[in-house]
Structure 1
Amino acid sequence: MDPILSIRGVGKTYASGLTALHSVDLEIRRGEIFALLGPNGAGKTTLISIVCGIVNPSSGTVIADGHDIRRQWRQARARIGLVPQELHTDAFETVTATLRLSRGLFGKPRDDAHIERVLRALSLWDKRDSKIMALSGGMKRRVLIAKALVHEPSILFLDEPTAGVDVELRQDMWRLVRELREQGTTIILTTHYIEEAEEMADRVGVINHGRLVLVEEKTALMRKLGRKQLSLHLQSPLPAIPPELAGLPLELSADGSTLVYTFDAQGERTGIAGLLRQLSAHGIDFKDLNTTESSLEEIFVSLVRRREPQEDAA
């Protein structure tokens, strides 16, 4: 299937000489949820701003749902919805008027039935006649999403959508994102909350210092780069790891009561089975065991730390 969003060789260098992006290549599949992760200043917002037509790239091309964002900017922009981090609209307008205006700006005919569907999906219907200035922070965040959806885009960017919101709203937004994906909308998510990516994303991209470090299926990434640990709580403490086991990735707790075996997914079956056989052969018994595995956050931190700083990014 052709990608719905194709980013080829996109770079951005500002007049000051600051290079925010270094020849980024990325393809987003139609109907997927893609999480773009990176520390502050990594280049996430710059990349999104280029795709959405807010910032001009210094090099490269972007094709959004079959349309070049520079040569066919009107058609491309109509297919993109952006949920920014802050709401910029007339504080004295009502919620409904704001959505009608946003829809009209994209050349869409008035459709109050569609606006009602969007407002109901975001639990905003009861606030339809309220002025923006009278809304709570959480309700304003919902209006941001409604504005991005009202012109029926096929690609939706969520830039830190749950930053500073309460747990209930975050759960509501996760539910909405899944529903949008089920309806065929492609979602690109940037977030500082790694659990959001772990919970929802199909694929994960990591950007750092303006370079795309990695793009991988979420499950494959966690399988490939994740680590598991098996903790064996021993029947009797050991003074030290027996020399015969010295070649294994084992650690002994300070009090000698717990052996910790670290392994990856590929070595799970043979590694654990072999370890247990060797422990039994050396008369080492255990009374309990438990396993833990790396979270996506731990993988993300390790990936970022592997990269030596090269140039500042915005």
Structure 2
Amino acid sequence: MTSLTDLSKLDDILALDLPAPDAGAIEAARARQNDLTKPPGSLGRLEDLAAFMAGWQGTDRPTIDRAQALVFAGNHGVCAQGVNPFPQAVTALMVANFEAGGAAINQLARTAGADMTVVPLDLDQPTADFTTGPAMTGAECLDAFLKGAQAVDSTANIVILGEMGIGNSTVSAALAHAICGGTAEDWVGRGTGSDEDGRARKADVVARGVEQHGHLSPLEILAALGGREQAAICGAVVAARLARIPVLLDGYICTAAVAPLHGANPAFLDHCLIGHQSAEPGHARLCGAMEKQPILHLGMALGEGTGAALALGVLRGALACHNDMATFAEAGIG
């Protein structure tokens, strides 16, 4: 199966034909790196990032002419359990702030040269409380997945993903716990400012949700424990993969959102980079489980795609060096 339009149920996602990176382009890019006016390997991970982009663009001289930033927003029924220090109305207020250009992601996306769009997902209809039943039906989850997929611009060279949703740090901890194991306490942090009592309450809620739904398949877990913005992030990741567009995930919330894809088949995330390591304590553990090294570690925990937008600047720097540095022959050295 090669088209998202053919999907009729969540499990159909597993039948999609996933394009692979171009091994020849990666080899050519690494050869160019070794011929640039620097000691081999001296630009460290910048060289790896350039080769990564080369593989997905199918050329030894990859570029970023169009960067798209998508912020998905949703509300969560699990907030009925008192896991959120702020009311769910804040989600819609922040969406309005994004649209007005007043949020941190607006400033960082503009600075990084990315066109940002916020995609609210039925904010007036929160998902169900996952401690009393599945957060979404399979059909509801697939609908949000497809909305995320449809938001991806097929002409982009890179897609940045972010999120907004009161209660979604609890949802993220539940997804990470269900997919990666451990205990609920391993995955629960303070979120948007919970105190120790709030953190303990979140851990209890996560444990109850995973006890009820953790036996399901990874994509069923996405529906049972996730939110619409998590499903939309998964849809955007898969749509970008089918279009051979690399993805920059943000921090803990975004990484946990795609944990069900990783659980179903780690290859789903081969085209994904993690922009930064969140200050949320579960994120380092989750990155380790996915065997992915975040590009930045700045002690941030805002979400919105902010860390991914900053990482875009690093990626642009990697490609500038890769494409514009002189070779030894061009510089008359050697």
TM-score by length of 2: 0.25
Which has a greater percent of helix?
A: 2
